[in-house]
Amino acid sequence: MSLAVQLAGLRLKNPLIAASGTFGYGVEYEGILDLSRLGGIVSKGLYLEPRDGCAVPRIVETPSGLLNAIGLQGVGIRAFVRDVLPRLDGYDTAVIVNVCGDTVEEYAEVARIAEAPGVDALEINISCPNVKKGGMAFGGDPRMTHEVVAAVRKATRLPVIPKLSPNVADVTVFARVCEEAGADALSCINTLLGLAVDVERRMPRLAFGTGGLSGPAIRPVAVRMAWQAARAVRIPVIGIGGIASAEDALEFLIAGCRAVQIGTANFVDPGVYSRILAGLEDYLRRHGRESINDVVGSLRFPDAEETGGGGC
C-alpha cells in the first residue's frame, strides 16, 4: 500500500500536511513528534517585517470549534529564512511557506525572498479574516485575487498555492481565477468568519471583535467547498477544515482533494498524524486498495429518484 501523493510537482510521502498558524514554524513540535512523519508543513503566515498581531484575548473555544483572531503574528520572512529554515533541513518533509502581504507588491517580495533552499512551495494567504489590511480584501474580490496570484507567480519558480476564503458567495469563481492566474494548486478552505459574545459585558469575547472559526464544527462546509473547487479546476486541491481522524481526512480525499491539512487538532493531540496514517492504511487494506490515490475523487451520488430528490 502507498500513501504517497503528487501535488503541484511535489511528491509527498503521505497526504497529511500541518496547516498554517496551528503548527508554529514546525520547530516548536521538535521532540513532541517526528516531523519526518508528515507529508508537509506550512509555516505561520509571514510578512516582510515582524508583526505583533492582535491584542488579547485572541482565542475563544466554541462548541466543536475554536474562534481565533491572532492577526498573523510572525517573525518576518527574512528571520524565517535565516533562523528557522536551517532547523527544518534535517527533516524529510515538504516545507511550504505561508506568504502574506498588505499590498500586491509585498506579496511578491515575500515570495521572492522565500525562494530559498529548503522551501518547496508557497501558500498564498489571501483569505485571513483577522487582519485589517490584505486578507479578506484580496480573497473576497476575484480581480484582486487574480492580481495577487499573478504577481506571486511572476516572482517565483516555486509551486504557488493560494488559500481560498469560505467567506464568499461562490468559491468556484475564486478557484478558477487562481488557476487562470497561474496557481499550481489550491488550499481550501481558510477559517469561517464568526463572532462570540460575552453576554455579561455585552462585548465580543475576542479583542479584535470577529474571528476565524475552525475545528470540527466547520468540516461539512469545508468538505462541500473543497468538493466544489476540485470539480471546477484541473489543478489539485488541498482540503482543510476540522480534520481530527482518518475518516475526516478521507471525506476530503473522496470528495476530490489530493492532500489535506490538519489545523486545530494540533492543539489537542500532536499524535493525530500517526493515528490518521494508521487509519488510512487500515482503510486501504479493508477496501482492497493499493494506493491512497485510488480513493481520491471517488465520491458517488445516488440517483435523485432513489433519494426522493433530496428536497429541503
Domain of 185: which CATH number? Answer: 3.20.20.70
- Please list the residues that pair with 291 across neighbouring strands: 2
Q: Residue 91 falls within a domain, yes or no?
A: yes
Q: Residue 152 falls within a domain, yes or no?
A: yes
Q: Residue 205 falls within a domain, yes or no?
A: no
Strand 40-46 relative to strand 94-99, pairing: parallel
Catalytic residue among 100, 128, 178, 257: 128
Residue 37 carries which DSSP code? G
Q: Report pLDDT for 138.
A: 80
Distance between CA 145 and CA 162 in Å, rounded? Answer: 9
Q: Report pLDDT for 308.
A: 46
Q: Residue 206 falls within a domain, yes or no?
A: no
User: Can 178 be counted among the known catalytic residues?
Assistant: no
Assigned C-alpha cell, 249 = 481526512
Q: Residue 221 falls within a domain, yes or no?
A: yes
Q: Residue 270 falls within a domain, yes or no?
A: yes
Which helix (H) or strand (E) element contains residue 231? Answer: helix 219-232
Residue entry with cell 500541518: 18
Q: What is the mean pLDDT of each run of 10 residues along the chain (312 residues)?
A: 96 98 95 96 98 96 96 97 97 97 95 98 88 70 95 98 96 98 98 97 97 98 98 98 98 98 95 97 98 98 60 58
- Please list the residues that pair with 59 across neighbouring strands: 68
Number of domains comprising the chain: 1
Instruction: Write out the residue range of the structural domain in which residue 178 sits.
Output: 5-53+72-193+215-299
Q: Residue 59 falls within a domain, yes or no?
A: no
Q: Residue 238 falls within a domain, yes or no?
A: yes
Burial 3-14 (b: 16+ CB within 10 A, else e): bebebbebebbb
Distance between CA 153 and CA 163 in Å, rounded? Answer: 14
